[in-house]
Structure formats: C-alpha cells, structure tokens
Structure 1
Amino acid sequence: MSTAGAGAAREGAAGAPPLTLRLGGRSFAPGEHAVMAVVNRTPDSFYDRGATFAFDAAVRAADAAVERGADIIDVGGVKAGYGAEVGEDEEIGRTAPFIAELRRRHPDVAISVDTWRARVGEECVRAGADLINDTWAGADPDLARVAAATGAGLVCSHTGGLGPRTDPHRAAYGDVMADVAATVARLAERAVGLGVRPEGILVDPTHDFGKNTYHSLELTRRLGELAATGWPVLVAVSNKDFIGESLDAPLTDRSAGTLAVLAVSAWEGARVFRVHDAAAARTALDTVAAVRASGS
C-alpha cells in the first residue's frame, strides 16, 4: 500500500486493517505486545526522583530493562510536569549521548526519545533513536517533519489542547474517546501527508494529560475503539495519578493497579506499553496473550 493509500484507509475509519509496526530493525505484528521501558535522564522525575539521572545509572537501568524483556527503551530528558526550565541544549545533552551509547550496547533494541521539540528529536535520531515519542500532541509542528526527513517513527498523542508541562484544570469533554480518536487521527494523517512512514506511527490516548481520573478510566475501558482505527496504540499508564486516585494508593503502591490496567489495555487491543517495571509488564502481557490464544 502506498503512503497516501495507507493514510486514506485510516482517515476516521473504524475497522481499518491493523498495521505492522516497524521501528529500526524491529517489527511488531498485530497481536504482539511490545514493552517500552522508561529511562529518565532527569533529576526530578515524578516516579524515580532522579534515580537514572546519572549516566552510569541510566545505562545500568537500560541494560536491566533489556535483560528483563523490554523491546523498546524510551529516553526522556525533561520532566513531564512542572519543574525547573530545561533548555533545548540541556535536553540534547541529557538524551543524545545516552542514546548513542544505548545504540552501541543494544543494536537490536528499538530506542525512543520522549520530546516535543523538533531540534531535540533530530539530534536524538542522529544519535540512534528509532522513534520520537511526542507526548504533547504536536506542540512543535516541525517534529513530524523531522520524523519524515529522518525515517523515524512518531507517536501522535492527545492532551486536550494543553501546552507542554502544564496540568489540566477542570477538563471536560462531551465524549472523551471521540475527542481522542479525532485528534490522534488528524495528527497521524498530517504526519503521513508530510512523509512519515505509516508503519512507524503509533497513537497514544495519553492518560492523565489533559484529563481527569474519570476520563482516563473511560479511555482504558474503551481502548478497543481506538485500536479499531488500525493505528498501533501506545499506552503510558505506569504508576499514573488516575491509578493512585482510583485505589487511594500512594506513588509507591501502584504496581498492582498498573498491571491491572496494562492487562485491560492489552485485552482491548493496545500494542505498546510504556512502563517502569519491564519484567512485571512482560509477565502480565504474556499472560494476556496466553489467555487469548487459548480461545483461538
């Protein structure tokens, strides 16, 4: 199928045939579950509080994640929420050299960079990244052009109109899934129109970004509707606030809730899972796959 044809086939259409996801030398066919392990090169990450900010600590964490079943390593250089300002040069310094080392150590693993900035994305792809994980819904419109020019994959996400590093305030939707599906489809079709490879595109409902707990729970329950568009669905739910609020659980006690949401998401058709605990996620997803296979 041509690039234009692949885009047209998915424009707002439920029931579109699912694509095989291709990132670098890796391919993930429909029905396969890919574990994306988080490695934050930040001193103030909401979850690990800077545990992998140091270069050597980040390398050890990435090595361990690969050993425990990670298919993709997602590298971030800026905390998603409020915090100290991080300029482009600083973000590049935190991410690009580390990605280059990951590429050297793990040539067969897909590497992702979590950034909304075009220049950061470009430098990180040059260093060896296969995917640009834009969690801020195209805030920098040139980021998709970088993916197109370099051949990198691209995550198209939904934030309800929020700008980078801001929190929702009284978020409201007539139908949150309809809003998410329309937004990510529009961003995916724009990306294809710019020349991004269709088989490199993922869509992310982006739980908690521009959403309250009820919205994130509804998105999880209805993920099958997003999967039916044919675009591979990425979910990033690990230890997030909607899990904590649902269970009245502090940040350090959300592992079981995270695994439950991962299992539901996988059953509903999500294909890539961004997590802090690669080993536990791999086990949970393999169990879902075994249950599904038992009925075929």
Structure 2
Amino acid sequence: MYINCKGRLLSLSSPKVMGILNCTPDSFFDGGKYRNEAELLTQAEKMLAEGATFIDVGAYSSKPNAEFVTEEQELQRAVPVVELLVKHFPDVLISIDTFRAKVAEATINAGAAVVNDIAAGLLDENMIATVGKLKVPYIMMHMRGTPQTMVKLTQYDDIVQEMLLYFSQRIAEARRHGVDDIIMDPGFGFAKTLGQNYEVMNKLELFKTAGLPLLSGISRKSMLYKLLGNTPQEALNGTTALNMVSLMKGAKILRVHDVKEAVETVRIYEAMTAN
C-alpha cells in the first residue's frame, strides 16, 4: 500500500504514526496547551524526533458537544500553524483535520499534504470535489450528524454492516471525483456508545475488505477512560493496549497524542510479525 504525499510515494507496509497537534482552546486532552509559536514548534519537533510520520493539525475541536467554530476562525487558526511548521520543518507531512473544503484548500496550498475529514464529505458538499482537485490523500471517517449532535445518533441495527455500507458509498463518491488515495477511519467515539466502540474494535479486520489503509484513532478517548474509571490524562496505558489491538487487526496508521509510545508499539508489533 502506497499513498502519494507531495509527490513522494509513502509505503504503508510498515505502520505509521500520526502525531496530534491541536491548535484549539477546547480539545478534550490538550486544548489550549500550545499557546504560541515556540510551544507549537517544540511539540512538533518532539513528535518528529520520536518517529511521527505525520503531524495532524486541528483547528476545530470535534469532541462531543464541541463549541461551534466559524470557517473564518478555523482558517485563522490553521493556516498560520501549517505555514509555521513547513517553514521550520520543510519535509514534514502535515494532515489537516477539517471537514470544510475552504480550510482544506487553504492549508494544502500552505504546505499540508493530507486532508483528514471527520465527516467524509457529508458536512461540506464541496469537500470531496476539492480533494479530488487538490490530488492529495483523503482520510474519511465514519460519523453521524455533527460534533454537536452525534451523541444522540447511536441507534444501529448492525453497526459494522451499516458502517461498511457508509464507507462503500463515500468511497464511490470520492472515486467519482478523482480521489486516488483514500484512508478509512472507523471514527471511534463518534456517534457510537461505549459498547459499540468495542464492537467495532473487535471486528476491525472486517474493514480491510475495502482494500484501503485503515487509520485507528483511539488516543486517550472516552471509550478508554470511561471504561477504566480514570481521566484522559491517565489513559495512556489503555491507549497503548488498543493501539496494539488495532495493529493486529490491520491498522496502518495510529493517530495519537503520545508518539514515542505508539512508535514503540509499532516496533513490537513488527517484531512479532516479522516471520
């Protein structure tokens, strides 16, 4: 499996780690933590040194009931961060976490390499056509509704089958618009109950039937800390456990807050599966 990032073919035969860099004041784990350029650069440098292949920049918190952010606010937050990272780390592969086509286009033009869309094009009718025009890899996630409404949209007859249908429809739409490189994200924590998240994780290998790379993003999420009775700050051990499960079930990208631990998990997984 290869994806084309800024004219460079990147192999996903060895799983990769995506480090999360939130430039939002209300992210569930690190909101407001990086308040200036120096702090953003320090964190990005740390993640790259620890082995991150991608830096995922988000300027709109997608946690349940997140505060609405206007398109202009998102642009004002995201574009300068992308420009800053590209200036200091010219070879960095940045994914932009947005569901808005204008934000995707502006940040790709500023130097980002991948679009990471929590809504798979369903919250902006121009998104998929824009990605097709930009010719960049597209991460499409499963979600229902919006971050403000998704907690009420957890009724499924068969969650995995309905998710597979969702992805088949979104993939067909992306192909229709010339999107070549597609990565599937099951969307842990999005329009799913605690039990549903674990059902999807248990059956994660079924999503490989689409023949596309899988991204697993469970870092410090409520499916961990609510189950374990702790907090996001205490959920690193649970994150590592499910990162290993994700790899064993076929995930090719781990999206995480803690890069060092995720890279170590990949190394252990690869040692286990080397022969």
Q: How many residues align?
A: 273
Specify which of 254, 276, 280 is matched with residue 261 of structure 2.
Answer: 280
Counterpart in the other structure of 2:56 = 74
Letter in 1 for 2:240: L
- Is the 1:36–1:74 Cα contact (8 Å) retained in structure 2? yes
Mean Cα displacement is larger for which, 145-154 or 99-108?
A: 99-108
- 1:69 maps to amino acid: G
Deviation at 1:97, TM superposition (A): 1.5
Partner secondary structure for residue 21 of structure 2:
strand
Is contact 1:21–1:232 with CA below 8 Å preserved after alignment? no
Matched, 1:114 2:114: no
Pick closer, same or farther for the CA change 1:234–1:26 going to 2, 3 Å: farther
Residues 202-259 of structure 1 deviation map (CA, whole Å, 9 limit, x = unaligned): 0110001000111111111111111232111011110001111222222221101000
Asked whether the equivalents of residues 26 and 108 of structure 1 are also in contact (C-alpha less than 8 Å), the reply is no
Cα deviation for residue 25 of structure 1 reads 4.6
Matched position secondary structure for 2:27:
coil
Candidates 178, 185, 202, aligned match of 1:195: 178
The separation in 1 between residues aligned to 2:142 and 2:98, in whole angstroms, is: 14
Choose from 204, 208, 216 the match for 1:227: 208
Q: 1:214 to 1:103 in 2, by over 3 A?
A: same
Whether the aligned pair in 2 keeps the contact of 1:155 and 1:201 (CA below 8 Å) is: yes
CA distance in 1, matches of 2:8, 2:271: 22
Aligned residue for 1:158?
A: 142
Q: Which residue of 2 aligns with 1:128?
A: 111
Q: Using the aligned pairs only, state the percent identity.
A: 29
Q: What is residue 51 of structure 1 aligned with on the other side?
A: 33
Q: How does 1:206-245 map to 2 (within 5 A)?
A: 206-245=187-226
The amino acid of 2:134's aligned partner reads: T
* 1:205 alignment partner AA: P
Letter in 2 for 1:258: T
Instruction: Quote the RMSD (CA, aligned, Å).
Output: 1.5
Contact 2:22–2:31 (Cα < 8 Å) also in 1:
no
CA shift digits 1:127-156 (9 cap, x unpaired): 011111101232112111111111121111
Q: For 2:149, give the aligned amino acid.
A: T
| Equivalent residues of 2:52, 2:259 under 8 A apart | yes
Q: AA paired with 2:120? A: A
> For each residue in 1:65-113, what CA deviation from the matched residue of structure 2 results, as whole angstroms up to 9, or x when unmatched?
0011100000000111334432111111111121122122223231100
Q: 1:152 to 1:116 in 2, by over 3 A?
A: same
Report the CA distance shift for 1:118/1:74 in structure 2 as closer, same or farther (over 3 A): same
Contact 1:42 1:53 in 2 (8 A): no
Partner of 1:5: none
Q: CA deviation at 1:56?
A: 2.4
Contact kept in structure 1, 2:99 and 2:119, CA below 8 Å: yes
- TM superposition score normalised by structure 1: 0.88
Which stretch shifts more, 162-171 or 176-185?
162-171
Which of 150, 168, 179 is the aligned partner of 1:167? 150
1:31 shift after superposition: 3.0
Alignment of 1:66-105 (within 5 A): 66-81=48-63, 82-105=65-88
Structure 1 position 260 matched with structure 2 position 244: no
Q: Secondary structure at the match of 2:34?
A: coil
Q: CA deviation at 1:185?
A: 2.3
Who is 2:126 aligned against?
142
Shift of residue 196, structure 1, vs aligned partner: 1.1
SS of 1:168 mapped into structure 2 = helix
Q: In structure 2, which of residues 160, 166, 181 is the aligned counterpart of residue 183 of structure 1?
A: 166
Whether 1:61 and 2:43 are equivalent positions in the alignment is: yes
Match of 1:205 in 2: 186
**Deviation, structure 1 residue 32:** 1.3
> Contact between 2:23 and 2:78, CA under 8 Å: does it hold in 1?
yes
TM-score by length of 2: 0.94
Change (3 A) 1:102 1:158: same
Q: Give the gaps of 5 or more residues in structure 2.
A: none
